[in-house]
Amino acid sequence: MALNYKIERKGRALIVRIEEQGSRRILYLDTLRAIAKESDREALAFLVKIHLQSNRNLDTISFQRIEVPPTHVKEAIELMRKTGRLIGDVPVAVLPPLEVKPLLILKDTSGCFANLWMDYQVGQVQFDDFAPTIDGRSRLKKEEATFEKDLLEAGYIRKMVGDTQYYCPSEKVKECLELLLAVGWQIQDVRKNPITAQIEVREENGKVVLRGPIRGLFDQKIQMCGVWEGESLRLKKSQIGAIIPLLSNTEVKWEANLLRLAEGLNSGLGVEKAPPSPEFKGKLLDYQQKGVDWLQFLYDWGFSALLADEMGLGKTVQVLAFLSRLGTNLPVLIVAPTTLLFNWRSEISKFLPHYTNFILISYTNLRLNEKQYSEMDFEAIILDESNAIKTATTQTARAACKLKGRIKICLSGTPMENRPDEIWSQFHFLMPDLIERNIDTLKQQIRPFILRRRKEEVQLDLPEKIEQISWIEMSDAQRDVYESYRKGISLDGATKMEVLEAILRLRQICCDPRLVGSDVVGAKIEQLISDVKEAIDQNRKVLVYSQFTSMLQIIREEFKDALYLDGSVSPDKRGEQVRLFQEDPNCPLFLLSLKAGGVGLNLTAADYVFLFDPWWNDAVERQAIDRAHRIGQKKTVFAKRYLTVGTIEEKILQLKTQKQQTADQLLDLEGFSHDDLLLLLH
């Protein structure tokens, strides 16, 4: 009798049934030895060895069914074929070559600690395992070493801690794991679950909740903003700015509502147009309308804002247009420096003449009446020149932070990117939840709530020239000096020269009482200094004109490096001063007398023209402005006139308007009668 070898497939393995020809008896080892022929010797020895290795615990072993593992299929078939009694139509299997892939198994939830495994198609083995083979075949040591090199280059280092072999600093985990996933590595968490880079963002109970496979895949700055609860990172909604960078990550799955919010904060996508109410008496430029849209978007979502457009772009008009949309019985509180309160009254009267729910106060008033205002509820709170609360420990800043309003808006044209304490203090008022003091983390959180446009960004919307009047409220001390002098004027029988002398002195007091021998500092120069510094901080160039050279000298004391030009400057020096202003970026400020610097100069490098005191003739002032705005000027020029409220300066402006003559027709004082001049002094 002889032995037959019947084969069939079982996946990649092979089932061998050894049968005695003409018999169905069960074959044991001694039976096989008795029946086997010389031609069976190699095949039987090979199959018996395999069968015995997988059945060591059985006392009696049958050889009717033997399972040959994939690694030995080819050799088994070749040996059985030699017997000439191989039965079965299964083709000879060519064992595929070994392949290996890296497998990183994390040992903690942060992803800092890990072990490196090698994943073969026949099984897995730890990289540090000294076994030379896997499933009877030689490991691909060269490829394995390459994978470890990749792991080390990605950011992990060899470091034995407990049962782990590799360590990655926490600040590098995210970058490292994302890189490994991107190049096809398998990564498993501590529970051996496969890891992907996908993060889920959704809202739960007013919080923004982030979930991901492990903490290590979250940016360190994002983790610093939130609190971990289990495997979820929870942030306050006001901190959504911290996760806006995730918008560019295709692996992040956003809840639809939060996605709309994040996209709106990031790029304005989905922000609806919010036109002013019909009661608003003005026309907005395109970029100003976008500012109103942005404010409305933040208001609808319950956020506050810092409107930080460059000086001259119309922050006030944007705020008033936005406020016109608010249908509420609650008042709107506007806090501004004392010198600017009249400006606000004037702008409200111009753009919202029928609105009566505004409360205008100074920062001093706020500080002195802190308790009264902190107990009130406001629909909106506006802080103009909000750098007034840049120091969080001051009483003014603390009083502001106690105010309650549905939306709070800070207005400031001063860039604050490199002044972390000033940023923090203002946002502590706007969003008390944002308590982060780390400047990089804070910037990321607050960026969506700051709108800052520079002239260049909105140039297409701007006219060639923008002219404004800055109405300045005198301090009580300055007002006392002014009224004392005015009441001492005797007009009985006064000649025109005496009247002009009195007018001159009042105009000088409006500029600065020090021009008439007082030690009181004028309100105008305080505002001018603030405006000049703001412009220079933005790398802008500024012209400052005054009719009084003594006033220019006072201004010069504040800006000792300023260029200077009056009638006493020689022609050669005059040309050099102009050249420096036009060409030297380190010469941003030029002080000029109105007569000497108002004609014949090319000063097109200027961005701002500040007219410190008014002249009778608007044409003379326009000539001064046109030194900056001439052929060749490709940018908008902002011109600002500084006028004191309730003084002779305001009366001069009114009188010029009443005369109903163009500025070109009024040549200095020739358009004003003696009676006109007397009227100015009453």
What is the tens place of the pLDDT at every residue in 51-110? 888 776 665 678 778 998 888 888 888 888 888 888 876 554 455 788 999 999 999 988
Look at residue 664 in the predicted model and tell me its pLDDT.
40
Say if residue 411 is in the same domain as residue 493: no
Say if residue 658 is in the same domain as residue 518: yes
Q: What is the spatial distance between Cα 614 and Cα 653, in angstroms, rounded to a whole number? A: 8
pLDDT, tens digit, 9 for 90 and up, residues 423-439: 888 999 998 877 665 66
Higher-confidence residue of 497 and 102: namely 102
Give buried/exposed letters for 558-567 (b at 16+ CB in 10 A, else e).
Answer: ebeebbbbbe
Look at residue 671 in the predicted model and tell me its pLDDT.
54
- Span 302-322, mean pLDDT? 93
pLDDT at 587 over 90: yes
Length of the chain: 682
Structurally, the chain folds into a number of domains equal to: 5
pLDDT at 663 over 50: no
**Domain-terminating residue out of 461, 495, 514:** 461
Look at residue 57 in the predicted model and tell me its pLDDT.
65
- Span 273-296, mean pLDDT? 94
Say if residue 179 is in the same domain as residue 205: no
Number of other CB atoms surrounding residue 182 within 10 Å: 9
Say if residue 473 is in the same domain as residue 447: no
Higher-confidence residue of 22 and 647: namely 647
Structural domain contains residue 296: yes
Structural domain contains residue 277: no
- Span 295-307, mean pLDDT? 93
Look at residue 325 in the predicted model and tell me its pLDDT.
95
- What's the farthest any 2 CA atoms get from each other in the chain? 155
Say if residue 171 is in the same domain as residue 227: no
Kindly report which listed range (255-269, 344-358, 521-535, 630-644) carries the lowest average pLDDT score. 630-644
Kindly report which listed range (166-170, 232-236, 662-666, 675-679) carries the lowest average pLDDT score. 662-666
Structural domain contains residue 110: yes
Look at residue 667 in the predicted model and tell me its pLDDT.
37
pTM over 0.85: no
Q: What is the spatial distance between Cα 92 and Cα 33, in angstroms, rounded to a whole number? A: 27
- Identify the CATH number of the domain in which residue 525 sits: 3.40.50.300
Look at residue 416 in the predicted model and tell me its pLDDT.
61
Look at residue 216 in the predicted model and tell me its pLDDT.
72
Nearest by Cα to 515 from 461, 573, 554: 554
Structural domain contains residue 194: no
Look at residue 443 in the predicted model and tell me its pLDDT.
75
Number of other CB atoms surrounding residue 294 within 10 Å: 22
Say if residue 511 is in the same domain as residue 368: no
pLDDT at 471 over 90: yes
Map tokens 């003084």 to a residue. 647
pLDDT at 682 over 80: no
- Identify the CATH number of the domain in which residue 304 sits: 3.40.50.10810
Look at residue 27 in the predicted model and tell me its pLDDT.
84
**Domain-terminating residue out of 417, 438, 461:** 461
Look at residue 666 in the predicted model and tell me its pLDDT.
37
Look at residue 668 in the predicted model and tell me its pLDDT.
47
Give buried/exposed letters for 263-281 (b at 16+ CB in 10 A, else e).
Answer: bbbbeeeebeebebeeebe
Say if residue 347 is in the same domain as residue 438: yes
- Span 282-287, mean pLDDT? 92
Structural domain contains residue 331: yes
Structural domain contains residue 274: no
Say if residue 79 is in the same domain as residue 146: no
Say if residue 220 is in the same domain as residue 360: no
Look at residue 497 in the predicted model and tell me its pLDDT.
86
Look at residue 600 in the predicted model and tell me its pLDDT.
65
pLDDT, tens digit, 9 for 90 and up, residues 143-158: 999 999 999 999 999 9
Say if residue 131 is in the same domain as residue 172: yes
pLDDT, tens digit, 9 for 90 and up, residues 166-203: 999 988 998 899 899 889 999 998 888 888 777 889 99
**Percent share of the chain, pLDDT over 70:** 91
Kindly report which listed range (140-149, 206-215, 329-338, 468-477) carries the lowest average pLDDT score. 206-215
Say if residue 380 is in the same domain as residue 439: yes
Q: What are the Cα distances from residue 256, in Å, to 202, 253, 259, 449?
A: 8, 9, 5, 21
Q: What is the spatial distance between Cα 622 and Cα 464, in angstroms, rounded to a whole number? A: 13
Structural domain contains residue 136: yes
**Domain-terminating residue out of 52, 87, 122:** 87
Domain around 58: 3-87
Structural domain contains residue 632: yes
Look at residue 437 in the predicted model and tell me its pLDDT.
58
Q: What is the spatial distance between Cα 229 and Cα 241, in angstroms, rounded to a whole number? A: 20
pLDDT at 239 over 50: yes
Q: What is the spatial distance between Cα 184 and Cα 192, in angstroms, rounded to a whole number? A: 17
Say if residue 119 is in the same domain as residue 81: no
| Direct distance between the N- and C-terminal alpha carbons of the chain, in angstroms, rounded to an integer | 143
Look at residue 90 in the predicted model and tell me its pLDDT.
56
Q: What is the spatial distance between Cα 646 and Cα 476, in angstroms, rounded to a whole number? A: 13
- Identify the CATH number of the domain in which residue 212 sits: 3.40.1170
pLDDT, tens digit, 9 for 90 and up, residues 596-631: 876 668 888 999 999 999 887 777 787 888 877 765
- Average predicted confidence (pLDDT) for the chain: 86
